[in-house]
Amino acid sequence: MKLPVVDEERYGEFDVMVAGGGMAGIAAAIAAGRGGAKTLLVEKAGWLGGMGITGATCLHNFFNIFGAHEGAKRMRVVGGIAQELVDRVGELGGGMGHVRMERGGEFVSMATPVEPEVFKLAAFQLCREAGVKLLLHTVLDEVRAGDGHVEGAVVWNKAGRSLVRAKQYIDCTGDGDLAAYAGAECEHFSADDAGAYPAGFTFRICNVDLDTMEAELERYGLIWHLAHAVKPGGRKRELVRMGLDMEKVRSLTGEQVPSYFFAVSVRPREMTYCNCINYGPNDGLDAEALTEAEVAMREQMFGVADLFRRYVAGCEDCYVAGPAPSAGQRRGRAIRCEHDLTQEDCTEGRQFEDQIGCFSFIDNPRDLVREGGAYGIPYRALVPRGLDNVLIAGRMMTVDTAAHNSTRNTACCLVCGEAAGAAAAMAAKKGVGPREVDAEKLRAELKRGGALLEPVADPIGDEE
């Protein structure tokens, strides 16, 4: 059986094609468009933000983890397009900026909650303002490449199969599909492999008396992670971030409960994001495993709401709403790059001559960046081995598991996406490959756009 005919004229040619419209893809497309490149952003869903907006409780993390180190000063580590998105979400009534943790700051010292639907709108607006052509409901189907050079990408949507040609390609698919299909060196993590991850799933719990719920949970000493702020349209400080001690919950109830529970509340009478259920570890490239994850976690979701109804005052009539549209697989494939960040790079806070950003948060209970600092992200970490017109950004950029615990997070994906987009625009304009982009000129361009290449002091104000 022959594949359907590929239409080679439908979408034309571009300077930069970005595959994947998650956090990395949004920033990459905006940066490329602002850099003067004719840019196409291809995304399989009908919205932008990907797992970073449907699966993460906050945008993690614009600051160092100063709460884990006595005497450490607060440092801002992320700016640029990431901060512009936060600002736009606030202007549209869907966020409250950056909120200091009152408790549990040794894990996350600052939280950046955003309302998911408002974030999607903000992402659309910034992409359109940058002149980016959006192509939603479209998947990457095939990559035509030879000798390490991508000649074109075949995409599929209801119109059929179409060839997209570009001078430069940025893989922001999460699993490195474009780079892998083009022949890049990669690592595939099967379910039983060290470094494999479970799928996760977030959802809202609505019709909650938040004050009563918080008082009840406090009465039993169950809250270890806590923050309050004035919500959009509100007048007083209310609960916006909460983490529960689930070992104590298990002991008090005698029930089988999730191993962790984090929630963020952006709107009245709801926990906007509940993050507490998983399936796996499993193979993120295995559709059958992902199918089982969908079935299992949707059942678990209702069990969590039932637990709150039965045991927590203020939640007697709560219900589940707004679940993530799909399971969020944290890992499937990693792409080998000219520099693969390691655990030591991150925990030792190493800096690089060609670094295009910095980051501090490592999402595991064991590893911290030394002395509450930040590690640098070298441009080379975005350049896949064996390809001459492709850059990558997003959760497939590190093979080392501890480093991946950090780089897969939303704010880091935004940082790397912005750098990849700016570099791709420069390469397209000069007619060179990503390796020939002058790192110092790239760094200067990123600085002009407000990106932070190293941490900057951010004094803690009395208002927080």
Given the DSSP bridges, would you call strands 6-7 and 160-171 parallel, antiparallel or unpaired? parallel
- Residue 220 carries which DSSP code? T
Q: Which has the closest alpha carbon to 111: 61, 168, 42? A: 61
Q: Identify the residue whose tokens are 């270890």.
A: 224
Domains, the chain, with CATH or none:
6-100+109-189+332-457 (3.50.50.60), 197-329 (no CATH)
Quickly state the pLDDT bin for 461 (edges 50, 70, 90). low
Question: Can you tell me the mean pLDDT for 62-78?
Answer: 96
In this predicted structure, the answer to whether residue 4 has a pLDDT above a threshold of 90 is no
Average pLDDT score over the chain: 96
pLDDT tens for each residue of 396-440: 999 999 999 999 999 999 999 999 999 999 999 999 999 999 999
What pLDDT was estimated at residue 57?
80
Name residues whose C-beta falls within 8 Å of residue 142's C-beta, 6 or more positions apart in sequence.
153, 154, 161, 181
Reply yes or no: is the peptide bond before residue 157 cis, omega within 30 of 0. no
pLDDT tens for each residue of 120-131: 999 999 999 999
- The residues that bridge with 63 in the sheet, in sequence order, are 76
3-state helix, strand, coil split of the chain in percent (to 5) is 30, 25, 40
Chain centre distance of CA 172: 11
Question: Can you tell me the mean pLDDT for 43-58?
Answer: 92
pLDDT tens for each residue of 91-134: 999 999 999 999 999 999 999 999 999 999 999 999 999 999 99
**Coil, strand, or helix at residue 452?**
coil
DSSP alpha helix (H) spans, 278-335:
287-311
CA distance 275 to 56: 8
**Residue 342 phi/psi, 5° resolution?**
-115, 170
In this predicted structure, the answer to whether residue 153 has a pLDDT above a threshold of 80 is yes
pLDDT tens for each residue of 189-221: 999 999 999 999 999 999 999 999 999 999 999
What pLDDT was estimated at residue 228?
98
Provide the residue type at 230 as one letter.
V
**Residue 95 phi/psi, 5° resolution?**
-160, 175
Quickly state the pLDDT bin for 254 (edges 50, 70, 90). very high
- Residue 22 carries which DSSP code? B
Question: Can you tell me the mean pLDDT for 154-183?
Answer: 98
CA distance 152 to 143: 6
Quickly state the pLDDT bin for 459 (edges 50, 70, 90). confident
**Residue 463 phi/psi, 5° resolution?**
-75, -10
CA distance 388 to 140: 19
Given the DSSP bridges, would you call strands 319-321 and 160-171 parallel, antiparallel or unpaired? unpaired
Angle CA 362–78–173, to nearest 5 = 70
Q: Which has the closest alpha carbon to 112: 160, 63, 71? A: 63
What pLDDT was estimated at residue 463?
42
What pLDDT was estimated at residue 3?
60
In this predicted structure, the answer to whether residue 178 has a pLDDT above a threshold of 60 is yes
DSSP labels, 62-87: SB--GGGSTTPPPEE---HHHHHHHH
Reply yes or no: is the peptide bond before residue 459 cis, omega within 30 of 0. no
Question: Can you tell me the mean pLDDT for 270-292?
Answer: 96
Quickly state the pLDDT bin for 2 (edges 50, 70, 90). low
